Amino acid sequence: MESGGAGITEEQARNRFQLELEFVQCLANPNYLNFLAQRGILRDRSFINYLKYLLYWKEPEYAKFLKYPHCLHMLELLQYEHFRKELVNAQCAKFIDEQQLLHWQHYSRKRMRLQQALAEQTQAQPQTAPPHGNAAAK
Amino acid sequence: KKVNMAAAEKSTKERLLSVLDDLEVLSRELIEMLALSRSQKMPQPGEDTQILELLVQRDKEFQELMEVAQQQGKVHQEMQLLEKEVEKRDSDIQQLQKQLKEAEHILATAVYQAKEKLKSIERARKGSISSEEIIKYAHRISASNAVCAPLNWVPGDPRRPYPTDLEMRSGMLGHMANLSTNGVNGHLPGDALAAGRLPDVLTPHYPWQSSDVSVGMLPPHHGNDFGLEPPGHNKENEDDVEAMSTDSSSSSSDSD
């Protein structure tokens, strides 16, 4: 494997792709963000530029490779200095984590409620449903 | 008559008035002379005829001036008529102007809105994605519980909507050698993830890392804008990378 002498090899391109794919998704993890913040990495100018560069993952042709789409929202938030500053707090990270989990569970809960509602409905129905022999209405 | 002629000439009115004055003066003189001639002999023999002649002359002038004045009156009337006509045309033009302006405004608005519509059509077209791809992607992110919690999830379940520590360490990043810098080279904290390295052989392969990367898929060029160095290549990494690279299976079948 070449060490980056004459241009970029396919291998290198793929590696870089892989690395950036992994890294951008790590950003979905608030604990990891807190980790980075506490080590001052979020204050580093070149890192901040890197975060801006990573925004290309929002384009559909790249986004389709993301398994954890939450990372895109985090990436957007990370563009703001205020957010980066706040992440130093462990409490802040914890709060984000909690909210993220709750949001994650939102659809399951909604689905469960719908299922329950449906189950209740079908239980109530047999008493009010007309007998099948009645085709006279048509 | 109020017609004003050029400043160099006296106006008709003035001339008329001056002629009238002359007539008045002359008639007075004549009458005085006649009055005098009653009482005494004529001092100047030809004076009465002179005055009479002057009188006649002035009268003739007067008549001529009256004609002129009449003509001028007619002209003046015509002028007034024409002025009225002009006024009317002026207001017509103004009216048309107003209507044109309105029409222009309406058209401009219509054109603008049409352009906006075209723009949004263009945008929509650009953003169009094949339904198949969307369905594939939707399946991928939901089957893996990445966006929706599994229905049987309870606190204590290690599954998360983001890559967990374990997943992070087992990825390519996690296997990057501990870069000898002070850890801040922008490209991520291989040191962070490298903290708990799993033996390469046992590296589980999580679908979030692999991807059906087409050969032509390059991340956008970034040069050294952010003082980044391309991922380091040392021997260790090479092996890992090979293992990973051969594993690019289609991800829609990985639903873990």
The amino acid present at B93, given as its one-letter code, is I
pLDDT of B121 strictly over 60: yes
Please state the rounded mean pLDDT for residues A29-34. Answer: 93
pLDDT reported for residue A109: 85
Q: Who wins on pLDDT, A96 or A138?
A: A96
Confidence of residue B46 (pLDDT cuts 50, 70, 90): confident
Indicate if the pLDDT at residue B218 is higher than 80. no
Place of tokens 């023999």: B45
Tell me the average pLDDT of chain A: 84
- Nearest by Cα to A20 from A12, A32, A9, A10: A12
C-beta atoms of B149 and A108 within 8 A: yes
Angle of helix A70-78 versus helix A30-38 axis, rounded to 10: 30
Tens digits of per-residue pLDDT, A70-88? 999 999 999 999 999 999 9
Report whether pLDDT(B29) > 70: yes
In this predicted model, what pLDDT tens digit does every residue of B179-213 receive, in sequence order? 333 333 333 444 344 433 333 333 344 445 554 55
CA angle A80, A86, A89 (to 5 degrees): 155
Stated as kind and residue range, the H or E segment containing B14 is helix B12-39
For residues A131 and A72, give the distance between their C-alpha atoms in angstroms, rounded to a whole number. 54
Where are the domains positioned within chain B?
10-125, 129-174
Does A84 fall in a domain?
yes
Are B63 and B57 in contact by the 8 Å Cβ rule? The answer is no
Ranking A1-15, A84-98, A105-119, B105-119 by mean pLDDT, the lowest is: A1-15
Alpha-carbon span A93 to A74, nearest angstrom: 12
CB contact under 8 A, A53 and B225: yes
Span B77-100, mean pLDDT?
A: 97
Chain A nearest C-alpha distance from B117 (Å): 23
SS3 B231: coil
Contacts of A93 (CB under 8 A, 6+ apart): A30, A31, A33, A34, A37, A87
Q: Between B12-39 and B47-126, two packed helices, what is the crossing angle to 10 degrees? A: 170
Cβ neighbours of B130 in A, within 8 Å = none
Strand, coil or helix: A19: helix
List of chain A residues whose C-beta atoms are within 8 Å of the C-beta of residue B238 = 1
Q: Which residues share a beta bridge with B157?
A: B155
Which residues lie closer than 8 Å to B38 by C-beta, 6 or more apart?
none
Q: Helical H runs in A59-134?
A: 60-63, 70-78, 81-86, 90-128
Looking at the structure of chain A, the number of domains it has is 1
| pLDDT beyond 80 at A126 | no
Closest CA to B28 of B55, B62, B63: B55
| Percent of chain B with pLDDT strictly greater than 70 | 63
**Cβ separation of A70 and B219 shorter than 8 Å?**
no
Contact residues for B162 (Cβ-Cβ < 8 A; gap 6+): A25, A26, A28, A29, A30, A32, A68, A70, A71, A100
Confidence of residue A99 (pLDDT cuts 50, 70, 90): very high
Which domain CATH number covers A80?
1.10.10.1340
Residue A34 banded pLDDT, cuts 50, 70, 90: very high
Residue A45: pLDDT over 50: yes
pLDDT over 70 (residue B248): no
Q: Supply A120's token pair.
A: 């209740």
| pLDDT value at residue B247 | 39
Rounded Cα gap, residues A31 and A101, in angstroms? 13
pLDDT tens, residue by residue, B219-238: 666 554 555 433 433 333 34
- Assigned token pair, A89: 């707090």
Cβ atoms of A47 and A41 closer than 8 Å: yes
Rounded to two decimals, what is the model's pTM?
Answer: 0.52
Q: Please name every residue paired with B155 in a beta bridge, in sequence order, or none if there are none.
A: B157
Closest chain A CA to residue B133: A64
**Other Cβ atoms within 10 Å of B104 Cβ, number:** 10
CB distance B182 to A44 below 8 Å: no
Average confidence score pLDDT of chain B: 72
> Which among B163, B189, B231 has CB closest to A16?
B231
A8, A44, A71 member nearest B186 (Cβ): A44
Q: Which pLDDT score is estimated for A7?
A: 63
Residues of B in contact with A105 (CB under 8 A): 149, 153
For residue A128, being part of any structural domain is answered with no
Number of H helices, E strands in chain A: 7, 0
pLDDT at B43: 63
The verdict on a CB contact (< 8 Å) between B151 and A50 is: no
CA–CA distances in Å: residue A66 to residues A27, A58, A123, B129? 12, 10, 42, 16
| DSSP three-state, residue B161 | coil
Of B199, B209, B196, the C-alpha closest to B166 is B196
Task: Give the range of the structural domain holding residue A101, as residue numbers without chain letter.
Answer: 11-121
Instruction: For residues A18 and B249, give the distance between their C-alpha atoms in angstroms, rounded to a whole number.
Output: 14
What residues of A are in contact with residue B146 (Cβ under 8 Å)?
67-70
Read off the tokens for A15: 């590696």
